[in-house]
Amino acid sequence: MNISVVGTGYVGLVAGACFADSGHRVICVDCDERKIRKLCDNEIPIYEPGLTEIVVRNQKTGRLTFTADLASAVQRSRIVFIAVGTPQADDGTVDLSAILDIAQAIGRVMDGYRVVVMKSTVPVGTHKRVSETIRAQTDHPFDYVSNPEFLKEGAAVEDFTRPDRVVIGATNPAVVEIMRELYASFMRRDERILIMDPASAEMTKYASNAMLATRISFMNEIAGLCERLGADIESVRRGIGSDARIGSAFLFAGVGYGGSCFPKDISALVSMGRSVDHPMSLISAAQEVNARQRRLFARRVIDFFGESCNKTTLAVWGLAFKSWTDDVRESPAIAAIRMFLECGMRIRAYDPEAMATARVELGEAVTMCEDEYQALDGADALVVFTDWPQFRTPDFEIITAKLRSKVLFDGRNLYDPRSLAKKGFQYFCIGRPAIQPQRP
Protein backbone atom coordinates (compact mmCIF):
# COMPACT_ATOMS: atom_id res chain seq x y z
CA MET A 1 0.00 0.00 0.00
CA ASN A 2 0.96 3.65 -0.43
CA ILE A 3 0.93 5.43 2.93
CA SER A 4 1.76 8.90 4.14
CA VAL A 5 2.49 9.72 7.77
CA VAL A 6 2.11 13.36 8.78
CA GLY A 7 4.46 14.14 11.65
CA THR A 8 7.96 12.73 12.14
CA GLY A 9 8.05 12.78 15.91
CA TYR A 10 8.37 9.70 18.06
CA VAL A 11 5.15 7.99 16.95
CA GLY A 12 5.15 9.05 13.31
CA LEU A 13 8.76 8.14 12.63
CA VAL A 14 8.50 4.71 14.25
CA ALA A 15 5.21 3.95 12.47
CA GLY A 16 6.46 5.12 9.08
CA ALA A 17 9.75 3.25 9.32
CA CYS A 18 8.12 0.00 10.47
CA PHE A 19 5.40 0.11 7.80
CA ALA A 20 8.11 0.63 5.17
CA ASP A 21 10.11 -2.25 6.59
CA SER A 22 7.08 -4.52 6.16
CA GLY A 23 6.94 -3.75 2.44
CA HIS A 24 4.66 -0.72 2.12
CA ARG A 25 5.68 2.50 0.40
CA VAL A 26 5.72 5.27 2.99
CA ILE A 27 6.08 9.03 2.72
CA CYS A 28 6.80 10.79 6.02
CA VAL A 29 5.79 14.46 6.07
CA ASP A 30 6.88 17.27 8.36
CA CYS A 31 6.67 21.07 8.10
CA ASP A 32 10.16 21.37 9.60
CA GLU A 33 12.33 21.38 6.46
CA ARG A 34 15.56 21.26 8.47
CA LYS A 35 14.38 18.09 10.20
CA ILE A 36 13.40 16.59 6.85
CA ARG A 37 16.86 17.27 5.43
CA LYS A 38 18.46 15.54 8.40
CA LEU A 39 16.15 12.54 8.08
CA CYS A 40 17.00 12.28 4.38
CA ASP A 41 20.63 12.06 5.50
CA ASN A 42 19.69 9.34 8.00
CA GLU A 43 20.14 11.64 11.01
CA ILE A 44 17.53 10.40 13.49
CA PRO A 45 16.28 13.02 15.99
CA ILE A 46 15.44 10.53 18.74
CA TYR A 47 17.21 7.60 20.35
CA GLU A 48 15.26 4.39 19.90
CA PRO A 49 16.99 1.00 19.62
CA GLY A 50 16.82 -0.41 16.10
CA LEU A 51 15.15 2.61 14.51
CA THR A 52 18.18 4.05 12.73
CA GLU A 53 18.91 0.75 11.00
CA ILE A 54 15.32 0.50 9.72
CA VAL A 55 15.33 4.07 8.40
CA VAL A 56 18.66 3.60 6.63
CA ARG A 57 17.63 0.27 5.12
CA ASN A 58 14.30 1.48 3.79
CA GLN A 59 15.55 4.79 2.44
CA LYS A 60 18.12 2.78 0.50
CA THR A 61 15.40 0.59 -1.03
CA GLY A 62 13.20 3.60 -1.80
CA ARG A 63 10.27 2.38 0.30
CA LEU A 64 10.70 5.23 2.81
CA THR A 65 10.96 8.89 1.81
CA PHE A 66 10.76 12.19 3.67
CA THR A 67 9.24 15.43 2.45
CA ALA A 68 7.78 18.77 3.55
CA ASP A 69 5.25 18.68 0.68
CA LEU A 70 1.98 17.58 2.27
CA ALA A 71 -0.09 17.89 -0.93
CA SER A 72 2.19 15.61 -2.92
CA ALA A 73 2.30 13.03 -0.11
CA VAL A 74 -1.49 12.92 0.34
CA GLN A 75 -2.15 12.71 -3.39
CA ARG A 76 0.28 9.79 -3.74
CA SER A 77 -1.19 7.85 -0.80
CA ARG A 78 -4.28 5.78 -0.16
CA ILE A 79 -3.93 5.96 3.62
CA VAL A 80 -2.95 9.12 5.49
CA PHE A 81 -1.83 8.82 9.11
CA ILE A 82 -1.93 11.86 11.40
CA ALA A 83 0.84 11.63 14.00
CA VAL A 84 1.50 15.22 15.05
CA GLY A 85 1.96 16.40 18.62
CA THR A 86 -0.86 17.16 21.04
CA PRO A 87 0.68 19.44 23.68
CA GLN A 88 -0.90 19.92 27.07
CA ALA A 89 -2.26 23.22 28.33
CA ASP A 90 -1.77 24.38 31.92
CA ASP A 91 -5.26 23.13 32.89
CA GLY A 92 -4.54 19.62 31.57
CA THR A 93 -6.58 19.96 28.39
CA VAL A 94 -5.13 18.87 25.05
CA ASP A 95 -4.24 21.44 22.39
CA LEU A 96 -5.73 20.11 19.17
CA SER A 97 -4.75 23.06 16.98
CA ALA A 98 -2.03 21.15 15.11
CA ILE A 99 -4.36 18.18 14.57
CA LEU A 100 -7.14 20.38 13.18
CA ASP A 101 -4.72 22.34 10.99
CA ILE A 102 -3.47 19.11 9.44
CA ALA A 103 -7.04 17.82 8.99
CA GLN A 104 -7.96 21.04 7.20
CA ALA A 105 -4.88 20.80 4.99
CA ILE A 106 -5.59 17.16 4.12
CA GLY A 107 -9.14 18.07 3.15
CA ARG A 108 -7.91 20.85 0.86
CA VAL A 109 -5.42 18.70 -1.08
CA MET A 110 -7.39 15.44 -1.37
CA ASP A 111 -8.03 14.48 -4.99
CA GLY A 112 -10.07 11.36 -4.32
CA TYR A 113 -11.08 8.84 -1.65
CA ARG A 114 -8.72 8.54 1.33
CA VAL A 115 -8.55 6.67 4.63
CA VAL A 116 -7.52 9.16 7.32
CA VAL A 117 -6.04 7.42 10.36
CA MET A 118 -5.49 9.14 13.70
CA LYS A 119 -2.31 7.86 15.37
CA SER A 120 -1.87 10.80 17.75
CA THR A 121 -3.31 10.53 21.24
CA VAL A 122 -6.44 12.70 21.20
CA PRO A 123 -9.37 13.29 23.59
CA VAL A 124 -12.52 11.23 23.22
CA GLY A 125 -14.73 12.84 20.61
CA THR A 126 -11.89 14.14 18.43
CA HIS A 127 -12.99 11.82 15.63
CA LYS A 128 -16.07 13.99 15.16
CA ARG A 129 -14.14 17.26 15.08
CA VAL A 130 -11.53 15.97 12.65
CA SER A 131 -14.14 14.43 10.35
CA GLU A 132 -16.13 17.68 10.32
CA THR A 133 -12.97 19.68 9.60
CA ILE A 134 -12.03 17.50 6.62
CA ARG A 135 -15.61 17.42 5.32
CA ALA A 136 -15.76 21.21 5.32
CA GLN A 137 -12.79 21.33 2.90
CA THR A 138 -13.64 18.66 0.33
CA ASP A 139 -16.40 16.90 -1.57
CA HIS A 140 -14.28 13.79 -1.94
CA PRO A 141 -15.29 10.79 0.21
CA PHE A 142 -13.09 9.60 3.05
CA ASP A 143 -13.21 7.29 6.05
CA TYR A 144 -11.86 8.11 9.48
CA VAL A 145 -10.06 5.52 11.63
CA SER A 146 -8.89 5.84 15.21
CA ASN A 147 -5.73 3.74 15.58
CA PRO A 148 -4.02 4.68 18.87
CA GLU A 149 -0.40 3.75 19.50
CA PHE A 150 0.77 1.64 22.44
CA LEU A 151 4.54 2.07 22.14
CA LYS A 152 6.97 1.95 25.06
CA GLU A 153 9.93 4.25 24.63
CA GLY A 154 13.02 2.09 24.40
CA ALA A 155 11.05 -0.80 22.93
CA ALA A 156 8.95 1.00 20.31
CA VAL A 157 10.17 -0.94 17.28
CA GLU A 158 9.52 -4.25 19.03
CA ASP A 159 6.09 -3.04 20.20
CA PHE A 160 5.11 -1.91 16.72
CA THR A 161 6.27 -5.02 14.87
CA ARG A 162 5.08 -7.50 17.53
CA PRO A 163 2.12 -5.72 19.12
CA ASP A 164 0.10 -6.96 22.07
CA ARG A 165 -2.92 -5.64 20.19
CA VAL A 166 -3.86 -3.26 17.39
CA VAL A 167 -6.94 -1.17 18.12
CA ILE A 168 -9.00 -0.11 15.12
CA GLY A 169 -11.82 2.38 15.69
CA ALA A 170 -13.92 2.40 12.52
CA THR A 171 -17.53 2.02 11.44
CA ASN A 172 -17.08 0.97 7.80
CA PRO A 173 -16.43 -2.80 7.42
CA ALA A 174 -14.54 -2.19 4.15
CA VAL A 175 -12.11 0.12 5.96
CA VAL A 176 -11.62 -2.45 8.68
CA GLU A 177 -10.45 -4.89 6.01
CA ILE A 178 -8.02 -2.30 4.64
CA MET A 179 -6.55 -1.86 8.10
CA ARG A 180 -6.31 -5.62 8.61
CA GLU A 181 -4.36 -5.86 5.36
CA LEU A 182 -2.08 -3.01 6.43
CA TYR A 183 -1.17 -4.74 9.70
CA ALA A 184 -1.17 -8.29 8.31
CA SER A 185 2.62 -8.65 8.29
CA PHE A 186 2.72 -8.00 12.04
CA MET A 187 0.06 -10.65 12.73
CA ARG A 188 1.68 -13.80 11.38
CA ARG A 189 1.30 -15.89 14.53
CA ASP A 190 -2.15 -14.88 15.76
CA GLU A 191 -4.82 -12.26 15.29
CA ARG A 192 -4.55 -9.41 17.75
CA ILE A 193 -6.68 -6.76 16.05
CA LEU A 194 -9.51 -5.32 18.14
CA ILE A 195 -12.35 -3.61 16.25
CA MET A 196 -14.49 -0.98 17.96
CA ASP A 197 -16.05 2.42 17.39
CA PRO A 198 -13.75 5.48 17.19
CA ALA A 199 -14.78 6.92 20.57
CA SER A 200 -14.00 3.64 22.34
CA ALA A 201 -10.65 3.42 20.56
CA GLU A 202 -9.79 6.94 21.75
CA MET A 203 -10.77 6.05 25.31
CA THR A 204 -8.83 2.77 25.22
CA LYS A 205 -5.56 4.67 24.83
CA TYR A 206 -6.21 6.90 27.84
CA ALA A 207 -7.60 4.08 29.97
CA SER A 208 -4.56 1.88 29.26
CA ASN A 209 -2.08 4.53 30.32
CA ALA A 210 -4.17 5.47 33.33
CA MET A 211 -4.23 1.86 34.52
CA LEU A 212 -0.46 1.49 34.17
CA ALA A 213 0.21 4.79 35.90
CA THR A 214 -2.16 3.83 38.71
CA ARG A 215 -0.30 0.55 39.26
CA ILE A 216 2.97 2.46 39.58
CA SER A 217 1.49 4.96 42.01
CA PHE A 218 -0.19 2.18 43.97
CA MET A 219 3.12 0.41 44.48
CA ASN A 220 4.87 3.64 45.46
CA GLU A 221 2.20 4.34 48.05
CA ILE A 222 2.55 0.81 49.44
CA ALA A 223 6.33 1.27 49.40
CA GLY A 224 6.02 4.29 51.66
CA LEU A 225 3.98 2.26 54.12
CA CYS A 226 6.52 -0.57 53.95
CA GLU A 227 9.29 1.81 54.99
CA ARG A 228 7.35 2.94 58.04
CA LEU A 229 6.30 -0.56 59.12
CA GLY A 230 9.55 -2.41 58.39
CA ALA A 231 8.31 -4.44 55.41
CA ASP A 232 10.23 -4.97 52.16
CA ILE A 233 8.48 -3.77 48.99
CA GLU A 234 10.42 -6.23 46.82
CA SER A 235 9.02 -9.16 48.79
CA VAL A 236 5.55 -7.61 48.66
CA ARG A 237 5.87 -7.14 44.90
CA ARG A 238 6.68 -10.80 44.39
CA GLY A 239 3.84 -11.78 46.66
CA ILE A 240 1.12 -9.85 44.89
CA GLY A 241 2.59 -10.18 41.39
CA SER A 242 2.32 -13.95 41.54
CA ASP A 243 -1.47 -13.62 41.76
CA ALA A 244 -2.72 -14.37 38.23
CA ARG A 245 -5.49 -11.82 38.69
CA ILE A 246 -2.90 -9.07 39.24
CA GLY A 247 0.25 -10.05 37.36
CA SER A 248 3.74 -8.64 37.82
CA ALA A 249 3.95 -5.87 35.20
CA PHE A 250 4.33 -2.26 36.36
CA LEU A 251 4.57 -3.20 40.03
CA PHE A 252 8.06 -1.84 40.62
CA ALA A 253 8.42 0.85 43.27
CA GLY A 254 10.64 3.79 42.37
CA VAL A 255 10.87 7.54 42.00
CA GLY A 256 7.70 7.73 39.90
CA TYR A 257 6.68 7.68 36.27
CA GLY A 258 7.57 10.30 33.66
CA GLY A 259 7.95 10.66 29.91
CA SER A 260 5.70 12.10 27.25
CA CYS A 261 2.67 9.83 27.69
CA PHE A 262 1.65 9.02 31.25
CA PRO A 263 1.76 12.53 32.77
CA LYS A 264 0.03 14.16 29.79
CA ASP A 265 -2.58 11.46 29.32
CA ILE A 266 -3.44 11.33 33.02
CA SER A 267 -3.93 15.10 33.09
CA ALA A 268 -6.06 14.92 29.94
CA LEU A 269 -8.26 12.18 31.41
CA VAL A 270 -8.80 14.19 34.59
CA SER A 271 -9.67 17.20 32.44
CA MET A 272 -12.14 15.18 30.36
CA GLY A 273 -13.87 14.02 33.52
CA ARG A 274 -14.06 17.58 34.83
CA SER A 275 -15.60 18.79 31.57
CA VAL A 276 -18.57 16.41 31.93
CA ASP A 277 -18.91 16.76 35.71
CA HIS A 278 -17.50 13.30 36.40
CA PRO A 279 -14.51 13.66 38.77
CA MET A 280 -11.76 11.10 38.12
CA SER A 281 -10.93 10.62 41.79
CA LEU A 282 -8.78 7.50 41.48
CA ILE A 283 -6.80 8.87 38.54
CA SER A 284 -6.29 12.19 40.31
CA ALA A 285 -4.97 10.32 43.34
CA ALA A 286 -2.49 8.40 41.18
CA GLN A 287 -1.31 11.72 39.75
CA GLU A 288 -0.80 13.21 43.21
CA VAL A 289 1.02 10.13 44.53
CA ASN A 290 3.43 10.35 41.59
CA ALA A 291 4.19 14.02 42.25
CA ARG A 292 4.65 13.32 45.97
CA GLN A 293 6.97 10.38 45.29
CA ARG A 294 9.39 12.61 43.40
CA ARG A 295 9.43 15.18 46.17
CA LEU A 296 9.91 12.59 48.91
CA PHE A 297 12.92 10.98 47.26
CA ALA A 298 14.62 14.30 46.55
CA ARG A 299 13.82 15.52 50.06
CA ARG A 300 15.39 12.38 51.54
CA VAL A 301 18.69 13.26 49.88
CA ILE A 302 18.46 16.91 50.92
CA ASP A 303 17.56 16.08 54.53
CA PHE A 304 20.49 13.66 54.77
CA PHE A 305 22.99 16.47 54.13
CA GLY A 306 21.00 19.13 55.98
CA GLU A 307 22.86 22.40 56.53
CA SER A 308 25.86 21.18 54.54
CA CYS A 309 23.88 20.99 51.26
CA ASN A 310 25.72 23.99 49.86
CA LYS A 311 28.99 22.12 50.39
CA THR A 312 27.73 18.87 48.85
CA THR A 313 28.47 17.35 45.45
CA LEU A 314 26.19 14.60 44.15
CA ALA A 315 26.97 12.05 41.46
CA VAL A 316 23.79 11.38 39.47
CA TRP A 317 23.39 8.27 37.34
CA GLY A 318 20.54 8.58 34.86
CA LEU A 319 18.71 11.61 33.46
CA ALA A 320 16.13 10.03 31.13
CA PHE A 321 12.79 9.11 32.67
CA LYS A 322 13.57 5.45 31.91
CA SER A 323 16.28 3.38 30.25
CA TRP A 324 16.68 2.97 26.47
CA THR A 325 15.51 6.48 25.64
CA ASP A 326 16.90 10.01 25.55
CA ASP A 327 13.54 11.45 26.65
CA VAL A 328 13.73 13.67 29.75
CA ARG A 329 10.18 15.00 29.58
CA GLU A 330 8.67 14.83 33.09
CA SER A 331 11.77 12.90 34.19
CA PRO A 332 11.95 12.41 37.99
CA ALA A 333 15.71 12.98 37.70
CA ILE A 334 15.27 16.45 36.21
CA ALA A 335 12.71 17.43 38.86
CA ALA A 336 14.96 16.21 41.69
CA ILE A 337 18.09 17.85 40.28
CA ARG A 338 16.28 21.18 40.22
CA MET A 339 15.50 20.73 43.92
CA PHE A 340 19.14 19.84 44.62
CA LEU A 341 20.37 22.92 42.78
CA GLU A 342 18.00 25.17 44.71
CA CYS A 343 19.65 23.93 47.91
CA GLY A 344 23.10 24.82 46.61
CA MET A 345 24.25 21.31 45.76
CA ARG A 346 26.64 20.69 42.88
CA ILE A 347 25.70 17.95 40.42
CA ARG A 348 27.93 15.70 38.31
CA ALA A 349 25.72 13.62 36.02
CA TYR A 350 25.92 10.88 33.43
CA ASP A 351 23.37 9.22 31.17
CA PRO A 352 24.22 7.00 28.17
CA GLU A 353 21.82 8.83 25.83
CA ALA A 354 20.02 11.73 27.52
CA MET A 355 22.71 14.26 28.37
CA ALA A 356 22.04 16.46 25.32
CA THR A 357 18.30 16.60 25.98
CA ALA A 358 18.91 17.13 29.69
CA ARG A 359 21.23 20.03 28.90
CA VAL A 360 18.30 21.80 27.25
CA GLU A 361 16.34 21.50 30.52
CA LEU A 362 19.14 22.19 33.00
CA GLY A 363 21.47 24.52 31.11
CA GLU A 364 25.04 24.75 32.36
CA ALA A 365 24.18 24.27 36.02
CA VAL A 366 25.06 20.55 35.88
CA THR A 367 28.44 19.04 34.98
CA MET A 368 27.89 16.36 32.34
CA CYS A 369 30.49 13.58 32.52
CA GLU A 370 31.95 11.17 29.98
CA ASP A 371 30.94 8.04 31.88
CA GLU A 372 29.31 6.96 35.12
CA TYR A 373 32.59 6.63 36.99
CA GLN A 374 33.81 10.11 36.06
CA ALA A 375 30.62 11.46 37.64
CA LEU A 376 31.83 10.05 40.99
CA ASP A 377 34.95 12.23 41.14
CA GLY A 378 34.76 14.40 44.25
CA ALA A 379 31.14 13.43 44.98
CA ASP A 380 29.78 12.99 48.49
CA ALA A 381 27.07 10.51 47.46
CA LEU A 382 25.72 8.62 44.47
CA VAL A 383 22.06 9.02 43.43
CA VAL A 384 20.62 6.58 40.85
CA PHE A 385 17.55 7.66 38.88
CA THR A 386 17.45 5.51 35.74
CA ASP A 387 17.66 1.72 35.38
CA TRP A 388 20.17 1.52 32.54
CA PRO A 389 21.70 -1.99 32.38
CA GLN A 390 25.23 -0.69 32.97
CA PHE A 391 24.09 0.80 36.29
CA ARG A 392 22.74 -2.54 37.53
CA THR A 393 26.10 -4.25 38.02
CA PRO A 394 28.67 -1.51 38.55
CA ASP A 395 32.18 -1.94 39.93
CA PHE A 396 31.70 -1.10 43.59
CA GLU A 397 35.44 -1.01 44.17
CA ILE A 398 35.66 1.95 41.80
CA ILE A 399 32.63 3.56 43.46
CA THR A 400 34.24 3.13 46.87
CA ALA A 401 37.53 4.56 45.70
CA LYS A 402 36.00 7.64 44.07
CA LEU A 403 33.20 8.66 46.44
CA ARG A 404 34.14 10.82 49.40
CA SER A 405 31.53 8.96 51.48
CA LYS A 406 30.02 5.54 50.90
CA VAL A 407 26.46 6.86 50.59
CA LEU A 408 24.09 5.62 47.89
CA PHE A 409 20.49 6.69 47.17
CA ASP A 410 18.82 4.22 44.81
CA GLY A 411 15.63 5.44 43.15
CA ARG A 412 15.16 2.17 41.23
CA ASN A 413 15.92 -0.51 43.84
CA LEU A 414 18.70 -1.89 41.66
CA TYR A 415 20.96 -3.27 44.39
CA ASP A 416 20.87 -5.83 47.17
CA PRO A 417 20.79 -4.02 50.53
CA ARG A 418 22.64 -6.75 52.43
CA SER A 419 25.44 -6.83 49.87
CA LEU A 420 25.90 -3.07 50.08
CA ALA A 421 25.87 -3.18 53.88
CA LYS A 422 28.75 -5.68 53.77
CA LYS A 423 30.60 -3.30 51.46
CA GLY A 424 30.23 -0.56 54.07
CA PHE A 425 27.61 1.60 52.32
CA GLN A 426 24.81 3.63 53.78
CA TYR A 427 22.11 2.59 51.35
CA PHE A 428 18.73 4.28 50.89
CA CYS A 429 16.17 2.88 48.47
CA ILE A 430 12.38 2.77 47.96
CA GLY A 431 10.07 0.77 50.21
CA ARG A 432 12.84 -1.08 52.05
CA PRO A 433 14.49 -0.21 55.37
CA ALA A 434 17.53 2.05 55.11
CA ILE A 435 20.72 -0.03 55.41
CA GLN A 436 23.58 1.06 57.60
CA PRO A 437 27.09 -0.26 56.94
CA GLN A 438 28.16 -3.40 58.76
CA ARG A 439 31.24 -3.00 60.90
CA PRO A 440 33.90 -5.73 60.76
Per-domain residue ranges of the chain = 2-196, 207-440
Return the ∠ at Cα 262 (arms to 260 and 268), rounded to 5°: 95
- Whether 207-440 and 2-196 are alike in CATH topology: the answer is yes
Distances (CA, A) of 114 to 109, 127, 184: 11, 15, 20
Distances (CA, A) of 354 to 154, 309, 344, 405: 12, 26, 23, 27
Q: Domain 207-440: state its class.
A: alpha beta
Is residue 261 annotated as part of the catalytic site, yes or no?
A: yes
Q: What is the pLDDT of residue 9?
A: 92
Contact between residue 258 and residue 332 where contact means Cβ atoms under 8 Å apart: yes
pLDDT exceeds cutoff 80 at 438: no
Q: What is the average pLDDT across 348-368?
A: 96
Q: What is the pLDDT of residue 436?
A: 78
Q: Which of 14, 154, 19, 26 is nearest to 78 (CA)?
A: 26
What mean pLDDT value characterizes the chain?
A: 95
pLDDT digits (tens, 9 = 90+) for 370-427: 999 999 999 999 999 999 999 999 999 999 999 999 999 999 999 999 999 999 999 9
Q: What is the pLDDT of residue 92?
A: 80
pLDDT exceeds cutoff 90 at 256: yes
Instruction: Note the pTM of the prediction, 2 decimals.
Output: 0.91
Q: What is the pLDDT of residue 258?
A: 95
pLDDT exceeds cutoff 90 at 91: no
Contact between residue 317 and residue 311 where contact means Cβ atoms under 8 Å apart: no
pLDDT exceeds cutoff 90 at 343: yes
pLDDT digits (tens, 9 = 90+) for 165-208: 999 999 999 999 999 999 999 987 667 899 999 999 999 999 99
Q: What is the pLDDT of residue 397?
A: 95
pLDDT exceeds cutoff 80 at 90: no
% of the chain exceeding 90 in pLDDT: 94
pLDDT band, residue 439 (cuts 50/70/90):
low
Of residues 18, 28, 226, 261, which has the active-site annotation? 261
% of the chain exceeding 70 in pLDDT: 99
pLDDT band, residue 440 (cuts 50/70/90):
low
Q: What is the pLDDT of residue 153?
A: 92
| Residues facing residue 402 across a β-bridge | none
pLDDT band, residue 437 (cuts 50/70/90):
confident
Q: Domain 2-196: state its class.
A: alpha beta
pLDDT digits (tens, 9 = 90+) for 46-73: 999 999 999 999 999 999 999 999 999 9
pLDDT band, residue 7 (cuts 50/70/90):
very high
